[in-house]
Structure 1
Amino acid sequence: MIGQLLTEYWDRLEDSLNFWAVIGFLGQAIFASRFIIQWLHAERVKRSEIPVVFWYISIAGGVILLFYAIHIANVVFIIGQVSGLVVYLRNLHLIYKARREGREAAV
């Protein structure tokens, strides 16, 4: 019984290893790399902060994972990625708005 379940599971797993799985892994790798970048940045500046590149990598990984989620037609995954993308874009908007206001105040 357990052997048959494992065999069926392995067959399904093998069937899922295709071009779209590579896209999913790529998106996940890019998305996960943002934490390494944030950690290295924090070590460099000797304090915890999130560099702007963190948000760009979040967007890149999020978009790739969104394409993958659409391909596999997983509504939970799709909504999660879209929600995250809204947050990442909003953070970039706030960062650039503050920089623009800072430049205007300096003039």
Structure 2
Amino acid sequence: MMLTREALWLMVGFAGQIAFTGRFVLQWLYSEYKKRSVIPTSFWYLSIVGSTLLFAYAIYRQDPVFIVGQAFGSIVYLRNLQLIKRSKDLKE
């Protein structure tokens, strides 16, 4: 069975939304495990995956509000990963 272009893009959109929502579930569960509010590094990786997929979906849908909303996020997520790496490098 061949997927239509529309079905494929819906899958991309849903995959992005699942990854984006999954980061909050991950953060919540990790914080419960640690008994304090913590944002694990994997939160930022899921943020990048979700944001990138949703950005692609927004472009396909030609939704300027959605495009602008998703375009900025990846910059913040990448910067957080850089700061985490720098912090780990300074500790070594």
Answer whether TM exceeds 0.5 for this pair: yes
**Corresponding residue for residue 66 of structure 2:** 77
Structure with more relative contact order (C-alpha pairs < 8 Å, separation 6 or more): 2
Unaligned runs of 5+ in 2: 1-5
Distance across 2 between alignment mates of 1:102 and 1:59: 25
Residue 83 of structure 1 aligns to a residue whose secondary structure is helix
Q: TM-score, normalised by structure 1?
A: 0.77
**CA RMSD after TM alignment:** 1.1
Q: TM-score, normalised by structure 2?
A: 0.88
1:55 equivalenced with 2:44 (yes/no): yes
**Corresponding residue for residue 8 of structure 1:** none
Give the CA deviation at 1:48. Answer: 0.3
Give the CA deviation at 1:55. Answer: 0.2
Share of identical aligned residues, percent? 47
Runs of 4+ in structure 1 deviating by more than 3 angstroms, as ranges, are none
Match of 2:15 among 7, 26, 48: 26
Residue 38 of structure 2 aligns to a residue whose secondary structure is coil
1:97 equivalenced with 2:77 (yes/no): no
Unaligned runs of 5+ in 1: 1-16
- In our comparison, the structure showing a higher alpha carbon Rg is 1
